[in-house]
Amino acid sequence: MNFVRWILGRLVLAYDVLTRPKPVIRDAAAQAELDSKTKNFALYQFNACPFCVKVRRELRRHALNIELRDARNDAEHKQALIDGGGRFKVPCLQISSGSGEKTWLYESDDIIAYLKSELELA
């Protein structure tokens, strides 16, 4: 079963590499403004998880510079996700407020919808 999962993961990664969307290009000021907003986000994810790939493709498409945290191989990130979000499930977007409060958003479709709405993306 682990082997099948590993193969499927490689296929997902290969598909992603072969069909990767081109990032939108903005002028420097617009990109800098967006970067200042996205520094409050971090995406907890696994490399070969299809739902994480879906979110990462949207980040790439919209040129969103959001820190990726590997919750599979990095024990600290894994623990932070479990303690903060309450579940060991990815993808999960950590949203930090100006006051340091953290909110955790699960579900790939909800993460994509949130980012589009919050960052006013087309």
Ligand X SMILES: N[C@@H](CCC(=O)N[C@@H](CS)C(=O)NCC(=O)O)C(=O)O
The rounded distance, in Å, linking the Cα atoms of 61 and 106 is: 20
Binding mask 97-116 for ligand X (x = CB under 6 A): ----------xx--------
Nearer to ligand X, 34 or 41 (CB): 41
* Count of residues that interact with ligand X, criterion CB under 6 A: 9
Binding mask 75-94 for ligand X (x = CB under 6 A): -------------xxxx---
Q: Answer for the pair 95, 66: CB distance below 8 angstroms, yes or no.
A: no
- Rounded to a whole number of angstroms, the minimum distance from the CB of residue 40 to ligand X is 21
70 binds ligand X (CB under 6 A): no
Phi/psi of residue 7, nearest 5 degrees:
-60, -45
The rounded distance, in Å, linking the Cα atoms of 9 and 47 is: 8
> Binders of ligand X among 4-43, rule CB under 6 A?
none
- Residue by residue, DSSP assigns 80-109 as HHHHHHSS--S-EEEEE-TTS-EEEEE-HH
**How far is C-alpha 38 from the chain's CA centre?**
11
Nearer to ligand X, 57 or 89 (CB): 89
Point out which residues bind ligand X (CB under 6 A). Answer: 46, 49, 51, 88-91, 107-108
